[in-house]
Amino acid sequence: MAGTMKLKNAKDGEVVTRFPPEASGFIHIGHTKAALVNYMLAQQYKGKMILRFDDTNCDKEKHEFEKAILDDLHTLGIKWDIGPTYTSDYFEKMLEMAEEMIKNDKAYCDSTPKEEMQKHRFDGTPTPCRANTLEQNLAMWEEMKKASPEGLKICLRAKLSVDNANKALRDPVIYRCNLTPHPRHGDKYKVYPTYDFACPIVDSLEGVTHALRTSEYNDRNDQYRWMIKALGLRAPSLDDFSRLNMEYTVMSKRKLTEFVTNGKVWGWDDPRMPTARGLLRRGVHIQALWEFVKVQGMSKVSNTMEWEKIWNLNKKIIDPIAPRYTCVDQFRIPVDLKGIDAVSRQICPLHKKNLDIGTKEVAFAPKMFLEEQDVVLLAEGEEVTLLDWGNAFVREIEKDADGKPKKVQMELHLEGDFKTTKQKISWLADVESNVPMVLYEFDHLITERNIDKSTDLDKVVREVTEYKLEALGEEALKQVKKGDIIQFQRRGFFICDTVEPVMTFFYIPDGHLKHNHLSAMARWGPPPATLEERKDRAEADAKKQKL
């Protein structure tokens, strides 16, 4: 729970955290975890959280992404106390600091070609420019700020070490030229600080007391502290938590952008995407995301999380509040039912265990539909239970030339005891007011459980990830609105995505490994991995990480 998340040297009322996204894409579940960790800890210690946009990369930032991030944070219930602020608010101050570092022999300008510089860093050797005089560095710095032809070939590097075992400390670049207009400042600046230079400065200047970073920044923590010390700034406390990796999931903004631009998905809010809005569109309840992050807390253990953990949490939240409805899919079998002469309607609860949810009107008729998957299991003469109605006898099953059922004759036996029947089946009255709709289910976008930087993503993209069934639902579904989460009897939970021109519903996984036997995935999708197969894969991934 949230109480398990603790900060070092934290005092109630004095803690200041920050969430610093880059406006270069939509926030995904990993960003959501980072935002929630910072927000929860600020709340826990009665402190404040800063929302800051890291706008140092002009080539990637867009106003549309900034607005999307603000909207998503609002939707997720994350409220910042200060901001939004911008790293670019401090550009002038950072230019002054960079020049002071040059004058104090803590930074130097380097015109070494990129490939050659990379080789020097790898080999742990200095480039010739490391021996520049102060006058040479200041002159080169001026050329950088003007973005002259010569200046465009130069970068500014912090003077830490050339051969430190931690390569993040091998004279990192702290300023580069960029002629792309800045989203907020236009052409005012021609040089921009790197994240590694800007982050510690702005953290200190904005009063951040605890800078929380994912464990991927471990190697850069000493670099962060060096910048603070070199500039004589107040030092925030650094703490790490594990980066969130989800199985069968790509977190790379570049690759997610490719999925969108190449038409692999419908957009950034596609229910197959790990973006915050994609997850919410898929049917993840906001409370489930909060609980998922609380359970992880500030753990530093890095592993690949299973989606089933989120879906299990989600089911516990939506099960008590999701109204119940009935539908049958496109393979439905017509039934003639004796024992009822005309269509009648009754008022029934939307949720038997939560009467506060309300009621619906249910039609009962002499003609109805059963699921094909149920009919193939029936035998003539068998007594079955029609859920929420009563028992009935199967009098005759008509079949086509291939032996497939095409029609059923049944007779009501409402005096029968449901405890004596083997088959309990759903049904739908055949009335004109029924609602046509489409049920969607989705598979993972990639075939590999765990990926890393060496994975060729083009080779692991799953070819088919969308499955759908046309269906017919009861007339009470007309009261369902876009975004409503419901349960279809014996099919599981769904979220309404559209109501016009046709109702569409997305299946919400419930954490079970097996496909629902009535589902589109069960009919057309690949078989799910067995529990043993999943354990074997997890163990193999763990061994790979140790290596």
Three state DSSP letters for 121-135: HHHCCCCHHHHCCHH
Same domain, 509 and 444: yes
* Residue 261: pLDDT band with limits 50, 70, 90: very high
Domain membership of residue 39 (yes or no) is: no
Same domain, 418 and 457: no
User: Among residues 429, 445, 466, which one ends one of the domains?
Assistant: 429
User: Among residues 171, 194, 217, which one ends one of the domains?
Assistant: 194
Half-sphere exposure at residue 134, Cβ-oriented, CA atoms within 13 angstroms: 8
Task: Determine the average pLDDT of the residues in 182-198.
Answer: 96
Same domain, 442 and 523: yes
Domain membership of residue 37 (yes or no) is: no
Same domain, 422 and 443: no
Task: Determine the average pLDDT of the residues in 470-480.
Answer: 98
| Higher per-residue confidence, 539 vs 422 | 422
Task: Determine the average pLDDT of the residues in 71-97.
Answer: 98
Q: Which residues pair with 316 in a beta bridge?
A: none
CATH of the domain at 500: 2.40.240.10
Same domain, 421 and 441: no
Task: Determine the average pLDDT of the residues in 5-10.
Answer: 90
Q: What is the mean pLDDT of the chain?
A: 94
d(CA 399, CA 405): 4
CATH of the domain at 100: 3.90.800.10
- Enter the DSSP assignment of 350: S
Same domain, 416 and 454: no
* Residue 338: pLDDT band with limits 50, 70, 90: very high
Same domain, 455 and 379: no
Domain membership of residue 339 (yes or no) is: yes
Same domain, 128 and 177: yes
Question: How many domains does the chain fold into?
Answer: 3
Task: Determine the average pLDDT of the residues in 222-248.
Answer: 95
- Domain ranges, residue 165: 92-194
* Residue 2: pLDDT band with limits 50, 70, 90: very low
Task: Please state, for a pLDDT cut of 90, what percent of the chain lies above it.
Answer: 85
* Confidence (pLDDT) at 547: 44
* Residue 3: pLDDT band with limits 50, 70, 90: very low
Domain membership of residue 447 (yes or no) is: yes
Same domain, 519 and 467: yes
What pTM did the predictor assign? 0.89
* Confidence (pLDDT) at 536: 62
140-150 tens-digit pLDDT: 999 999 999 99
Same domain, 367 and 446: no
* Confidence (pLDDT) at 537: 54
Q: Where are the alpha helices (DSSP H) in 450-530?
A: 520-524
Residues in the chain: 547
Same domain, 424 and 512: no
Task: Please state, for a pLDDT cut of 70, what percent of the chain lies above it.
Answer: 96
* Range in 49-53, 295-299, 413-417, 490-494 the model is least confident about: 295-299
Alpha-carbon distances of 160 from 115, 222, 424, rounded to whole Å? 20, 11, 73
Given a cut of 50, is residue 139 above it in pLDDT?
yes
